[in-house]
Amino acid sequence: MSIELKNVTKKFGEVTAVNDVSFSVNEGELMALLGPSGGGKTTVLRMIAGLEMPTTGDVFIRGQRVNDLSVQERNIGFVFQNYALFKNMNAFKNIAFGLKIKKWKRPDVEARVMELLKLFDLEGLEKRYPHQLSGGQRQRVAIARALAPKPGVLLLDEPFGAVDAKIRQELREWLVTLHHELNVTTIFVTHDQEEAMEVSNRTVIFSRGNLEQIGTPREVYEQPANEFVARFIGVMNVLELHVRKGVARLNELEFPSHGLPDGERLRIGFRPYSVQISSDDKAYRYRAILRHTYFLGVMLRVELELPSGLLIRARMTKEEYAFQRLADGKDVSFQIRQYRVLAREGEKLAPEVAVTHDVPLTLGEGI
């Protein structure tokens, strides 16, 4: 076990930034700390680094309690959001800084910096100052600088936050490749759920200082622990249902009451891919008009408008869309194949209750 947090709480004055958080990161893992801004994820990263001290609780690095160790003694590499390159030093000196502190011999420093420059494709740029480098080059210098003294852990704060959207996607893949090659335990902070899903082995999800869920990308997507996670990871249709005559309803949509008596409320959610659409308006149970189509590449997102005016988001492949001869304004029928009960009476459900409910296929026309 490389890093472990035990009941860590951090307060800034009256504000609790991190509230009783415990989790561990395995050796060689690539871990994402995900959450909306103000969620406490950066504070957690900074506490691991030693840039912040926990108010209560313990931080362990490789089994050693590091609460009382200073930043310098923790042997971590930290990449800041805006890279924080030393602007009065060129790329070479930036990367060499940590090695000189550790009193490496001059030829060793040179060899190590050259090795990193090569690995990060920065050869020929060693004499450039930060302002003479592009955003991507700066980021690479920052990561090279953090990795130069061979830290036990690499910590990155919003590594792609300051990079152009166009190149971000490709940098993610590069980070995965880099991690694969170096195999150093890596933790990065992001507010972008797609980024966390794509890059990390496991993701820790924070909201308002609380740890909401920890799991592999697949786990948090398919088995969200609660409504926050369900809504934060990916797109979800959320419906507030009223139980009447033993059936939970919203306008024309009907779901099982899950044992609730009449008059109670029930919140359910379903992913856009759980909506099955047919251009045959009698194929499935519900009818709708295809209001709008969003092209997202291979996948399409369509917006369905029910006769009552309710809007539902669905997702399908381009091929299926073409095969069904769908188009904006067309009458369609649909069914919801899978949904999750999110909450009853506005209460958060215990995770074990929030299981996926399958709806039997092809309910046919009418009730």
Partner 1 sequence: MAGAPSTDTAIIRRRVSRSQSQRGTEEPPLIKWTLIAIALAFSLVFLLLPLVNVFAQAFAKGWQAYWNSLTEPDSWAAIRLTLIVAAIAVPLNVLFGVAAAWAIAKFEFRWKSLLTTLIDLPFSVSPVVAGLMFVLMFGLQGYFGKWLEAHEIKIIFAVPGIVLATVFVTFPFVARELIPVMQAAGSEQEQAALTLGASGWRTFWHVTLPSGKWGLIYGIILCNARAMGEFGAVSVVSGHIIRQTETMPLRVQALYEGGSAVSGAAAFAVASLLALLALITLAIKTFLEWKQARDYSRAQQLAMPTPESDSDTAFLARQNLR
Residues that bind partner 1 (CB under 8 A): 49-51, 70-72, 76-78, 80, 82-88, 97-98, 101-102, 121, 130-138, 140, 145-146, 149, 162-164, 166-167, 170-171, 173-174, 177
| Dihedrals phi, psi of 145, to nearest 5 degrees | -60, -40
DSSP 137: H
**Closest CB 123 distance from partner 1, rounded Å:** 11
**Closest CB 16 distance from partner 1, rounded Å:** 20
Minimum CB distance to partner 1 smaller for 172 or for 202: 172
Minimum CB distance to partner 1 smaller for 126 or for 305: 126
Long-range contacts of 103-109 (CB under 8 A, 24+ apart): none
Q: How far apart are CA 350 and CA 17, in angstroms?
A: 24
Minimum CB distance to partner 1 smaller for 64 or for 70: 70
Minimum CB distance to partner 1 smaller for 17 or for 171: 171
**Closest CB 250 distance from partner 1, rounded Å:** 42
Tokens at 225, concatenated? 């622990």
Q: How far is CA 44 from CA 14, 20, 193, 210, in A?
A: 18, 11, 18, 11
**Closest CB 182 distance from partner 1, rounded Å:** 14
Minimum CB distance to partner 1 smaller for 93 or for 265: 93
**Closest CB 102 distance from partner 1, rounded Å:** 6
Q: CB under 8 Å to 294, separation ≥6 — which residues?
A: 300, 301, 302, 303
Please provide the distance, in angstroms rounded to a whole number, between the alpha carbons at the two ends of the chain. 54
Q: How many CB atoms lie within 10 A of CB 348?
A: 14
**Closest CB 75 distance from partner 1, rounded Å:** 8
Minimum CB distance to partner 1 smaller for 94 or for 333: 94
Q: CB under 8 Å to 57, separation ≥6 — which residues?
A: 5, 6, 7, 8, 9, 20, 21, 22
Minimum CB distance to partner 1 smaller for 12 or for 323: 12
**Closest CB 177 distance from partner 1, rounded Å:** 7
Sign of CA dihedral 233, 236, 241, 247: negative
Q: How many CB atoms lie within 10 A of CB 316?
A: 20
